[in-house]
């Protein structure tokens, strides 16, 4: 669909192989500022990652505006997540949100009515071992994106300027850790990040707020709880346990396994984001949660039961026997939970799935997409798992 020509700069490094598709884009997205009609688009940044690709797929499945999708394609970004999208509805651009010139060119040419920023380094363990990448992408990258968006927004007039929105996608980890009996975080809870990842996302949130307050940019911020679902890179708890369980490898659990997380299916998250774009008040923050608090032990045990039911081991061994304790993560937050009554009250959001229903759907998805998982589990991924969890997490066991 789209290819890269080395040495070209800006948007024109991306060309269409299909002339008919090129004519479709020329018709849908006029490039000349004086064109008589401009069809609305949205720009998604980081739309080849886990949450971003789910958002793009759902958005287009609902027949909403065409999407311009800018993604750097780091290890967790995957073009195959977007396979089959029609070129007259989806434009993929391989690039970095920190590339202000590229971003500015895309904004000027495609004139989106909203920019949704998913692009971030997100894994806590990686931030502990290598925090610089998190500061580069999550802080400086967000700054450069905001600068490009601000300049674009200032050039809009009338209804276009009034309708424009910038949506910053963030995490509940910026709030820090809760005690067992503490009330869930609300939007006014003070930030108290405990990892380099959480600190970098907190900085991005503060920048977004500052651009709204200082420059008047119509910003929105959402802070979500732990996501799970299709296309999640298998460094995170749910897909790591699914793939290791299928392969008969150890299921590594940090510390005592009693850390509590509030779980949110990615499809429910995407629906909340659409509501935020549609109805959210500029300058506001909305917490998005699933209302499903579980310990890590409970989550892994449920995954084991689902795997035993849906894909029994050849030797009949229960997956629970594969559970192993490993040394706890430095600074590991004990409990996350968000109060999402504001988005429920103001925007009408409610999660559609129970945790068991959502996990069942997720296990079934990974069982039905083994070629996807085989492709993403590369040598680099295997090296990372070995460093974090030990060789036993990669060795032995059933092959399925």
For residue 378, tell me if it sits in a domain.
no
The pLDDT value given to residue 380:
53
For residue 397, tell me if it sits in a domain.
no
The pLDDT value given to residue 40:
78
For residue 400, tell me if it sits in a domain.
no
Instruction: Per-residue pLDDT tens, the chain, 400 aa: give them.
Output: 333 222 222 222 232 223 344 344 444 444 434 433 445 799 999 999 999 999 999 999 999 999 999 999 988 888 999 999 999 999 999 999 999 999 999 999 999 999 999 999 887 878 888 899 999 999 999 999 999 999 999 999 999 999 999 999 999 999 999 999 999 999 999 999 999 999 999 999 999 999 999 999 999 999 999 999 999 998 899 999 999 999 999 999 999 999 999 999 999 999 999 999 999 999 999 999 999 999 999 999 999 999 999 999 999 999 999 999 999 888 888 999 999 999 999 999 999 999 999 999 999 999 999 989 888 876 454 454 455 545 444 333 322 2
Number of domains, the chain: 1
For residue 21, tell me if it sits in a domain.
yes
User: What is the Cα–Cα distance from 285 to 382, expressed in whole angstroms?
Assistant: 38
For residue 382, tell me if it sits in a domain.
no
Active site members: 172-173, 197
Label each residue of the chain as H, E or C. CEEECCCCCHHHHEEECCHHHHHHHHHHCCCCCCCCCCCCEEEEECCCCHHHHHHHHHHHHCCCCCEEEEECCCCCCCHHHHCCCCCCCEEEEECCCCCHHHHHHHHHHHCEEEEEECCCCCCHHHHHHCCHHHHHHHHHHHHHHHHHHHHHHHCCCHHHHHHCEEEEEEEHHHHCCCCCCCCCECCCCCCCCCCHHHHHHHHHHHHHHHHHHHHCCCEEEEEECEEECCCCCCCCHHHHHHHHHHHCCCEEEECCCCCEEEEEEHHHHHHHHHHHHHHCCCCCEEEECCCCEEEHHHHHHHHHHHHHHHCCCCCCCCHHHHEEEECCCCCCCCECCECCHHHHHHHCCCCCCCHHHHHHHHHHHHHHCHHHHHHHCCHHHHHHHHHHHCHHHCCCCCCC
Is residue 21 exposed (0-12), middle (13-18) or buried (19+ Cβ within 10 Å)? middle
Residues whose CB falls within 8 Å of the CB of residue 84, separated by 6 or more in sequence, listed in order: none
Query: What pTM did the predictor assign?
Result: 0.85
For residue 381, tell me if it sits in a domain.
no
CATH of the domain at 73: 3.40.50.720
- Specify the long-range contacts of residues 4-8, CB closer than 8 Å, at least 24 apart: 4/94
User: What is the Cα–Cα distance from 1 to 111, expressed in whole angstroms?
Assistant: 22
User: What is the Cα–Cα distance from 29 to 111, expressed in whole angstroms?
Assistant: 8
For residue 222, tell me if it sits in a domain.
yes
For residue 189, tell me if it sits in a domain.
yes
The pLDDT value given to residue 279:
97
For residue 214, give its domain range.
Answer: 2-233+263-305+337-353
């Amino acid at each position: 669909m789209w290819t890269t020509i080395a040495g070209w700069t800006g948007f024109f490094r991306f060309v269409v192989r299909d002339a008919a598709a090129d004519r479709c884009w020329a018709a849908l997205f006029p490039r000349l500022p004086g064109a008589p009609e401009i069809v609305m688009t949205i720009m998604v940044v980081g739309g080849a990652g886990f949450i971003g690709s789910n958002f793009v797929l759902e958005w287009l499945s609902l027949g909403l505006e065409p999407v311009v999708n800018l993604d750097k394609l780091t290890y967790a970004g995957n073009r195959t997540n977007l396979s089959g999208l029609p070129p007259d509805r989806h434009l993929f651009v391989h690039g970095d949100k920190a590339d202000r010139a590229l971003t500015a060119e895309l904004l000027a040419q495609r004139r989106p009515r909203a920019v949704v920023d998913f692009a971030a380094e997100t894994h806590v363990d990686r931030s502990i071992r290598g925090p610089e990448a998190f500061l580069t992408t999550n802080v400086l990258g967000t700054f450069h994106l905001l600068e490009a968006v601000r300049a674009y927004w200032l050039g809009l007039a009338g209804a276009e300027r009034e309708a424009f929105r910038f949506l910053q996608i963030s995490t509940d980890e910026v709030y820090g850790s809760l005690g067992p009996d503490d009330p869930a975080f609300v939007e006014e809870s003070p930030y108290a990040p405990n990892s380099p990842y959480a600190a970098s996302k907190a900085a991005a949130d503060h920048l977004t707020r500052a651009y709204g307050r200082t420059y008047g940019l119509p910003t929105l911020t959402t802070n979500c709880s732990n996501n799970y679902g299709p296309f999640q890179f298998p460094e995170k708890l749910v897909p790591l346990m699914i793939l290791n369980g299928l392969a008969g490898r150890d299921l590594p659990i940090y510390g005592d396994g009693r850390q509590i997380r509030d779980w949110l299916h990615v499809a429910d998250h995407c629906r909340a984001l659409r509501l935020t774009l549609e109805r959210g008040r500029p300058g506001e923050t909305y917490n998005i949660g699933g209302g499903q608090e579980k310990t890590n032990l409970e989550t892994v045990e449920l995954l084991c039961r689902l795997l035993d039911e849906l894909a029994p081991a050849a030797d009949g061994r229960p997956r629970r026997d594969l559970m192993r304790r490993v040394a706890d993560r430095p600074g590991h937050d004990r409990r996350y939970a968000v109060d999402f009554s504001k988005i429920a009250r103001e925007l009408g959001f409610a999660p559609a799935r129970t945790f068991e229903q959502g996990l069942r759907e997720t296990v079934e998805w990974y069982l039905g997409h083994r070629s996807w998982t085989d492709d993403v589990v590369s040598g680099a991924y295997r090296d990372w798992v070995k460093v974090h969890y030990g060789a036993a997490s990669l060795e032995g066991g059933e092959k399925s």
